[in-house]
Amino acid sequence: MEKDQKKRKDHSMIIALVIMLFIAAGFILIIRMRINLGNLALPFYLVATGMFLFASALEMEGGMGEVIAAISGIPTMLGLILLYQFRTGNWESWAYFWPLIFPAGAGLGQFCYGTVKANREAAERGKILVQVGFGMSLLGLVFYALLFS
């Protein structure tokens, strides 16, 4: 099993470079085009921070990279949720969206790290966290929809 993982090429350096270039291109585009993000600035910066942390995690070996990748999913998911809420004004969704930040956000970072690094155990742990987070969120949505509708 370990020989198969060692034989697979590790493309994490290329993926980290692409993520960093994507972040840089986004910032350059905002500066050059003088784009005013307005109330979308906070979600943008949170997603960019999460992507930067994930790219940094890909460069780390051992357990620390997996931990940083799990942490990187939290600001990324928070930024995506805030983006949704700023665009729709559905602030009541905090009642059932919080499980998407943790454990689902952390699980998503861990799952992506395990997938890129060909670490099946990390990917499985992340997959379980994502399923638990989405399940809790769905349960909260049903509960609040039945209770307050």
pLDDT for res 148 = 82
| pLDDT score of 103 more than 90 | yes
- Residue 3, pLDDT > 70, answer no
- Token pair recorded at residue 144: 């609040």
pLDDT cut 70: percent of the chain above it: 93
3-state secondary structure 108-142: HHHHHHHHHCCCHHHHHHHHHHHHHHHHHHHHHHH
Global pTM value: 0.81
- Closest-CA residue to 97 (of 81, 80, 79, 115): 81
Q: Is the pLDDT at 133 greater than 80, yes or no?
A: yes
Quick one: what percent of the chain has pLDDT higher than 90? 56
Amino acid identity for residue 6 in this structure: K
Predicted confidence at residue 147, as pLDDT, reads 86
Q: What is the pLDDT of residue 5?
A: 53
What's the one-letter identity of residue 19? I
Going from N- to C-terminal start, the domains of the chain cover: 2-148
Distances (CA, A) of 67 to 12, 94, 109, 142, 143: 16, 26, 9, 32, 32
SS3 state of residue 11: coil
Q: What pLDDT score does 61 carry?
A: 77
Closest CA relative to residue 103, chosen from 124, 120, 126: 126
